[in-house]
């Protein structure tokens, strides 16, 4: 077994205080605490860029005041009202119009179908699985939510000149590019 690599580090006062407190609280040796912290930091960095991209997207969406945060139960309640509405076709036509308006806003800013899907995923309208950068599976909690997103995707993608094949399953949309 290779002998451990020795390192010397310098800690500022607050870091040294934190280090001493963590040693006392955890009962770990200096070396074990440092190794554990290093592993946690490395793992966090792997996921950090994805989290940061999502956070940037939330900030972008909410800062302009054009988006809202909505409880999932309220979302499901709105979807049920749409399903029961005798004039639901008016809603779906208006939804198409709003989606086309989004396409105008996205035009030139959105680089790929993936960008559009990730933006929608940030809204928690579905659970996303990405077998590849060109294949997406969107899983829904209701058929109306699936219809809502399918119509939105069709209109936005057509409006920004991007093509994707959208296949509908019972609870999923499968989107394939190219």
Predicted confidence band of residue 144 (pLDDT cuts 50, 70, 90): very high
Position 57 scores a pLDDT of: 79
| CA gap 93, 116 in Å, rounded | 21
Whats the size of the chain, residue-wise? 178
Closest by alpha carbon to 98, among 158, 156, 166? Answer: 156
Is the pLDDT score of 19 beyond 70?
yes
CA gap 175, 135 in Å, rounded: 6
Element (H, E) at 130: strand 127-132
**Most confident stretch, 13-22, 29-38, 88-97, 114-123:** 88-97
Winning range, highest mean pLDDT, from 42-51, 68-77, 138-147: 138-147
Please report which confidence band the pLDDT of residue 61 belongs to, taking 50, 70 and 90 as the band edges: confident
Q: What is the pLDDT of residues 31-43, one digit of tens each?
A: 999 888 888 777 7
Q: What is the mean pLDDT of residues 133-145?
A: 93
Domain ranges of the chain: 11-69, 70-176
For residues 65-76, one letter each, b for 16 or more C-beta atoms within 10 angstroms of the residue's C-beta and e for the rest, the string is eeeeeeeeeebe
- Is the CB of residue 82 less than 8 Å from the CB of residue 144? yes
Residue with token string 């989290």? 51
Is pLDDT of 164 > 90?
A: yes
Paired tokens of 140: 């829904």
Q: Is the pLDDT of residue 45 over 80?
A: no
Of the listed ranges 119-123, 133-137, 165-169, the one predicted with least confidence: 119-123
Confidence of residue 166 (pLDDT cuts 50, 70, 90): very high
pLDDT at residue 175 in the model: 97
Strands 127-132 and 172-176: unpaired
What is the band of 49 on the pLDDT scale with cuts at 50, 70, 90?
A: low
| Mean pLDDT estimate for the chain | 89
Would you state the pLDDT for residue 70?
85
Residue 113 has pLDDT above 70, yes or no: yes
Rounded Cα distance between 68 and 65, Å, is 8
Averaged pLDDT, 153-178: 94
């Amino acid at each position: 077994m290779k002998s451990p690599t020795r390192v010397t580090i310098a800690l500022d006062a607050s870091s040294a205080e934190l280090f001493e407190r963590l040693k006392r609280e955890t009962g770990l040796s200096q070396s074990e605490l440092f190794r554990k912290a290093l592993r946690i930091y490395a793992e966090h960095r792997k996921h950090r860029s994805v989290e940061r991209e999502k956070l940037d997207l939330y900030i972008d969406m909410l800062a302009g005041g054009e988006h809202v945060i909505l409880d999932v139960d309220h979302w499901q309640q709105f979807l049920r009202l749409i399903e029961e509405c005798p004039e639901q076709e008016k809603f779906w036509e208006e939804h198409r119009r709003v989606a086309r308006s989004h396409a105008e806003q996205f035009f030139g800013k959105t680089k790929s179908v993936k960008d559009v899907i990730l933006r929608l995923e940030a809204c928690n309208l579905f659970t996303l699985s990405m077998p590849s950068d060109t294949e997406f599976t969107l899983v829904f909690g209701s058929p109306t939510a699936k219809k809502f997103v399918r119509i939105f995707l069709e209109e936005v993608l057509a409006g920004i000149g991007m093509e994707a094949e959208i296949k509908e399953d019972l609870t999923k949309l499968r989107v394939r590019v190219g």
